[in-house]
Amino acid sequence: MVTSLYEANGHLTIGLLAKPGQSLTGVGRYVNMLEHKLRNRGVGIERVSPWVPRDRMITRILRDRLHIDVPAFLSNYPVWAAYPETRVLHVSSQNLASLLMIRKPSVPTIVTVHDIIPYLLRDNPDLTSYRGVFDRRFDALAMRGLRRADYIVADSEFTRQSLIRELSLPGDRIGVVHLGIDHQRFRPTPPLQQLLERYQLPAGRRFLIYVGSEDPRKNLKTLLNALALVHHERDDVDLIKVGRPHNQAERASLISHAERIGIRHAIHFLEDVPESDLPALYSLATICVMPSLYEGFGFPVLESMACGTPVVCSNAASLPELAGDAALQFAPGADSHYRLALAINQILADQALERRLKYAGFEQAARFTWEHTTDRTLDAYARVTERKRSTRRLFEIRRPERRKAQPDQHDQQKTVMQ
């Protein structure tokens, strides 16, 4: 299918719609790596971003009366963008699909859906990420926009099934394209003394590492409760928490909880960690822990495995799909911190188990490459362009030929009389 994609003009140009900037989020990493790999395949990329209107009155009303950060909000849920004139338009994230409800592109359109977790949790007061009515309404607009896509690529089978179940989207228009990791970057790295000094990490400790925000769905209080149980048996274990908070209130709540259970001293918050330091931090840790209740695609599971660090994760959402048999998994729910603590203690106490998980992790992570992601994405481009051509041919076949108008009887009589 990929070959036929190039046959029309010998060159392929894709419009890639993405948020501006070089974001270090999972979505930003996806956009940057996909663009890089596609360009290496000779694909032309015309990258465009949503833009915010310069209407000062609208901006002032949204900012002053509704207390909305207008540029940030309308970058996440855009309503303005100039579509490029390319063979295919690739919308790089599900929330950008709000644009498709404003104006449908004239070319085949693909949307990458990383997850629809905010929509899934919209009515859960404990886990929702909506901050107000505008978040709810614009996210609903984006979900409706997904119906206008010619094809959807989902990061995981979990996300694909969510789209079918929650949005009633047809399964034959959704394909799973797993993301990759950069194996040149994420690999075992000897821990260096300057790394400990740079992040003020104490020497002589064993570290757990968690990479992500404090979003309630990440289930970090369960991790803290498990760490408190681990400390009953071994008090030389600390937690490295990498990543900015989802919001400051959640960070404050987490710190307060850590103080109440007596482990605040064992938690190290690292916010602005460059990606170049991540492999060394993974390698420094004894275990990577991913306790999420909902996860569209958990990069840290695979990145830590590629660095030789054993993983303990929940068996929820997409995580079992990524981890396979290469991680210890626990079931979230009541008293799940006991099960998580048990898994952590198993690895800390059993060097043979630690080695087995390490080498199983290498094999599992090796299955996820950006080359494979690029191959499957090109297949998706070919699929939508071929479908568009087939539809056009079918329309031309079915369209009846126009007949010349025949004069009616009155006109014929007039002609004879003349």
Residue 396 has a pLDDT of 47
Q: How far apart are the first and last CA of the chain?
A: 64
Q: Are residues 360 and 376 in the same domain?
A: no
Residue 406 has a pLDDT of 52
* Phi, psi torsion values for 258, nearest 5 degrees: -65, -35
| 188 occurs within a structural domain | no
Q: Measured between alpha carbons, how far is 225 from 19 in angstroms, rounded to an integer?
A: 37
Task: List the CATH number of the domain containing 36.
Answer: 3.40.50.2000
Domain span at 356: 193-365
| 417 occurs within a structural domain | no
| 409 occurs within a structural domain | no
Q: Are residues 222 and 340 in the same domain?
A: yes
Give me 230's structure tokens.
């681990």
CB atoms within 10 A of CB 396: 8
Q: Measured between alpha carbons, how far is 64 from 60 in angstroms, rounded to an integer?
A: 6
Q: Are residues 360 and 373 in the same domain?
A: no
Q: Are residues 152 and 273 in the same domain?
A: no
CA neighbor of 139 nearest in space, from 195, 189, 182, 93: 93
Residue 210 has a pLDDT of 98
For 228-264, b/e burial (b = at least 16 CB within 10 A) is: bbbbeeeeebbbbbbbbbbeeebbebbbebbeeeebe
Q: Are residues 206 and 62 in the same domain?
A: no
Q: Are residues 114 and 204 in the same domain?
A: no
Q: Are residues 274 and 329 in the same domain?
A: yes
Q: Measured between alpha carbons, how far is 201 from 106 in angstroms, rounded to an integer?
A: 54
Q: Are residues 150 and 199 in the same domain?
A: no
Q: What is the pLDDT along the chain (418 residues), one digit of tens a residue?
A: 444 455 444 578 999 999 886 566 788 889 999 999 999 999 999 999 988 766 656 566 666 665 666 666 676 778 788 899 999 999 999 999 999 998 999 999 999 999 999 999 999 999 998 877 878 988 999 999 999 999 999 999 999 999 999 999 999 999 999 999 999 999 999 877 899 999 999 999 999 999 999 999 999 999 999 999 999 999 999 999 999 887 889 999 999 999 999 999 999 999 889 989 999 999 999 999 999 999 999 999 999 999 999 999 999 999 999 999 999 999 999 999 999 999 999 999 999 999 999 999 999 999 999 999 999 999 999 999 887 665 554 444 445 554 444 555 544 444 433 4
pTM of the model: 0.87
Q: Are residues 222 and 343 in the same domain?
A: yes
Q: Measured between alpha carbons, how far is 80 from 98 in angstroms, rounded to an integer?
A: 9
Q: Measured between alpha carbons, how far is 74 from 244 in angstroms, rounded to an integer?
A: 21
| 287 occurs within a structural domain | yes
| 301 occurs within a structural domain | yes
Residues 6+ apart with CB under 8 A from 84: 15, 46, 48
Q: Are residues 258 and 359 in the same domain?
A: yes
Q: How many domains does the chain have?
A: 2
CA distances to 216, 261, 295 from 225, in Å: 15, 8, 21
Q: Are residues 219 and 336 in the same domain?
A: yes
| 289 occurs within a structural domain | yes
| 406 occurs within a structural domain | no
| 213 occurs within a structural domain | yes
Q: Are residues 333 and 220 in the same domain?
A: yes
